[in-house]
Chains A and B, each alone.
Chain A
Amino acid sequence: MPTDQQIFDKICELLKPYNVKNKPILRTSGIMSDLEVDSTAVFDLIMELEDHYDISVPMEVISDVKTVGELVNAIQDLLQQ
């Protein structure tokens, strides 16, 4: 089971190509509001996470996630199920 930090690091790595203005990625960063990742790209990012961790992230979960930290928590919850 990956640690909270490992999940955060993986998300930062996958976010890089979508973070076109190269803004600092914090747990409090809003994925769409601060990092300016558009909604289509968010879904692509989620699919990469799904494939990496071999999980399914339901769309209903994604709609509740606003920040990088919330995404870390959501992935951790799904991995524990």
Chain B
Amino acid sequence: MSGAGGTDAETGSGLSIFSKYDPLKQRASVLEKVGVDPFDMTFDDIMGPTRGRIGNREIILAGTNNYLGLTYDEAAREAAKDAIDRHGTGTTGSRIANGTYVEHEQLERDLAAHLGKPSCIVFTTGYVTNLAAMAGLAGPNDVIFIDADAHACIIDGTRLATNKTTVRFRHNDPENLDRRLSRQAITDGGHALVVIEGLYSMFGDIAPIAEFAEVCERHGAYLYVDEAHSYGVFGPTGCGIAEAQGCLDKIDFYSGTFSKSLASVGGFCASRHPEFELLRKVMRPYMFTASAAPANICAAQAALDAIKTRPELRHNITARAAQLHAGLAEMGFDLCAPASPVIAVRRPNEAQAAMEWNWLLKEGVYVNLAVPPGTPQSSCLLRISVSAAHTEEDVNAILSRFKALQDNSAEIMGEMMRRLQASA
């Protein structure tokens, strides 16, 4: 057996350790041939929540999930700078070692109070939040029920959990969950943990959380809602879709991220069960990773204050999302869901979507390219995220590029074929 760096011949297997990624390599190669690799692109500068720069070209940012546009908010920036001056640039430890500062605890208290829950725990990222909380909650006899379109961090959370069973139910379908909860005998003292999202980040569709809460109540199941993409954006006080649907008090576990509306990096999970605090002593992704940096915590705290005191941010994003959705619908684009801050335009295949993504970037608009297996129903999408910082003119500019995309479709596809043939 050869050591690290052994060649195919040395291992005798005929394959290197990277061979399993050959299909991925081929796929990436096709994307490179049609232009900039959408999964490996770099901005030379970010000048604000809605503007970036590549070379000397200014780009409208329409794919950054900066829903409330607070990453450049003066209060958030000052709070982050002040935190660095007072506490330095990092915590160098986990929450259970030296990583808990008064700011972590203050933010936990404030998020809990905003959501009306007795307990809230802050984590280093949103991804880690779901990993830690789900794995901490589900024991060997419990069954986790997840929505068919669940985000990767929810799927990974089920993998880290010590339970033996995870069941998927049809996307946004409380009746289907009802049937599956009825089918699945929860025995040996186990419980059912149902995990859904408020706003689904690929299609931008909204869960009927209130109906899910009723189903869970009927079966004695615990309801876990990830409002990463909806906290700060929906609801009279910005508490998300559960608040908008009048069922926030029915949610057992409520998770969110700092990297969307809270304009920072980190995550949180709040619970109506005070015993949730016990999980601080068992959640490995909480116990064995460094805590969020003081600057991140203080920026999120400032963004939370903005969510609570500036309802106009929610009004702006709602208006801009409606404007963009209506404009694209009028042009006849196939949109995946009604208007929300996430607007997904369905394209016929991956190659065309990649070529159009490149064309839009060249024309000064950055959106997300989303392709299988990261998308529901194996869809190929041009995914747009609207920000409260976008102006009416910004949205008109985005719409004009999509109109030009539509008008130049034949030319764009012809160019793609020429590039692919030239590199074949």
Contact = CB atoms under 8 A, between A and B. Distances in A.
A38 interface: yes
A58 B163 CA distance: 11
Given A56-B183, A58-B165, A59-B158, A38 B378 contact: yes
A56 B376 contact: no
B168 interface: yes
B372 A54 contact: no
B64 interface: no
A40 to B, nearest CB: 5
Contact of B378 (A40, A46, A55): A40
Contacts of B158: 59
B372 A60 contact: no
Interface string B362-397: 000000000011011110000000000000000000
A38 B170 CA distance: 18
B31 interface: no
B217 to A, nearest CB: 21
Contacts of A59: 158, 166-168
Interface in A17-60: 38-41, 43-44, 46-47, 50, 54-60
A43 B148 contact: yes
A59 B158 CA distance: 9
Nearest to A61: B165
Nearest to B378: A40
A49 B270 CA distance: 36
Interface string B167-209: 1101000000001100110000000000000000000000000
B164 interface: yes
Contact of A58 (B167, B170, B378): B167
Interface residues of B, number: 18
B85 to A, nearest CB: 48
A58 B372 CA distance: 22
B118 to A, nearest CB: 32
A47 B146 CA distance: 13
A60 B170 contact: no
Interface string A51-81: 0001111111000000000000000000000
> How many residues of A sit at the interface, in one of the four size bands?
10 to 19
A60 B179 CA distance: 20
A50 B168 CA distance: 10
A58 B143 CA distance: 9
Contact of A40 (B166, B170, B184, B372): B372
A44 B165 CA distance: 18
A47 B145 CA distance: 13
A56 B184 contact: yes
A40 B375 contact: yes
A47 B168 contact: yes
Given A43-B148, A47-B148, A56 B378 contact: no
Contact of A60 (B166, B184, B373, B375): B166
A56 B164 contact: no
A41 B378 contact: yes
B183 A60 contact: no
Interface centre among A46, A55, A59 (most CB of B within 10 A): A59
Contacts of B148: 43-44, 47
A59 B168 CA distance: 7
A11 B311 CA distance: 52
A8 to B, nearest CB: 23
Contacts of B166: 58-60
A39 B167 contact: no
Contacts of A39: 372-373
Contacts of A58: 164-167
* 8 nearest CB pairs, A to B: A59-B166, A58-B165, A56-B167, A39-B373, A40-B378, A56-B183, A56-B184, A40-B373
7 contacts: A38-B378, A40-B376, A46-B168, A47-B168, A54-B179, A59-B158, A60-B164
Given A47-B170, A56-B183, A60-B165, 7 more contacts: A38-B372, A39-B373, A40-B378, A44-B148, A46-B168, A57-B167, A60-B164
